Chain A
């Protein structure tokens, strides 16, 4: 059974650029949720994709967008990067749109915006 993987592990971008982060869900899982964890804070829910459709969204602007592919892997895209977008981005996979203990988190992608 393959766990949740994320790429890249680290990334440095400059303000105004665009970034794409990737997440491969655990084998058999059809749901991916994305979280932003700023320094000194807990993870904040960005959005969830279930069976290739957005299935809920947190309080993030539209420049945060996503995709889920037929194999249930997912991308998080952030346009017009701002300094405050510097954070650890976590994805978590699960089944049937669920949150909670059935979610398995990846190790995260650390994004630094200069």
Chain B
């Protein structure tokens, strides 16, 4: 059961422009959402999170937006840098009981 979906397997963006990564979910009970970044041969590392009681959370160049009615969240990276090139996973949990991950989006930022 794919409760968290990332429908774009890849995204290519020019350095300095905005990267927008999207994620959809089906379980309305999810109360916490996270984004992870994964480089090759490394484990995922936490990037940013948002609680279901908020609709936006910002941390430097990274902003996550949550639209509960649409069951959709997005990660904005502005400005994008070549070092941001990685696979990005969206994840969600209910009351801190396990985590459901999307399939990931490979972001490539071109110099």
Q: Mark B44-84, 1 if CB is under 8 A from A, else 0.
A: 11100100000000000000000000000000000000000
A112 to B13, CA, bound (A): 33
Chain A CB count within 10 A is highest, among B4, B45, B98, for: B98
Q: Mark A20-52, 1 if CB is under 8 A from B, else 0.
A: 000000000000000100001111110010000
B34 & A100 in contact (Cβ 8 Å cutoff): yes
A98 & B44 in contact (Cβ 8 Å cutoff): no
CB within 8 Å of B: which A58-92 residues: 58, 90, 92
Q: Which of A41, A56, A92 is close to B43, meaning CB atoms less than 8 Å apart?
A: A92
User: Chain A interface mostly helix, strand, loop or mixed?
Assistant: loop
The range of chain A's interface size is 20 to 34
The range of chain B's interface size is 20 to 34
B4 & A45 in contact (Cβ 8 Å cutoff): no
Asked, given contacts A42-B103, A42-B104, A56-B98, whether A100 binds B93 with beta carbons under 8 Å apart, the answer is: yes
Residues of A close to B89: CB separation below 8 A: 42-43
The 18 sampled A-B contact pairs (Cβ below 8 Å) are: A40-B103, A41-B104, A42-B4, A43-B89, A45-B98, A48-B98, A56-B98, A58-B98, A97-B96, A98-B96, A99-B97, A100-B93, A101-B34, A101-B46, A103-B46, A105-B44, A106-B43, A107-B41
Give chain A's interface residues, CB within 8 Å of chain B: 4, 35, 40-45, 48, 56, 58, 90, 92, 97-101, 103-108
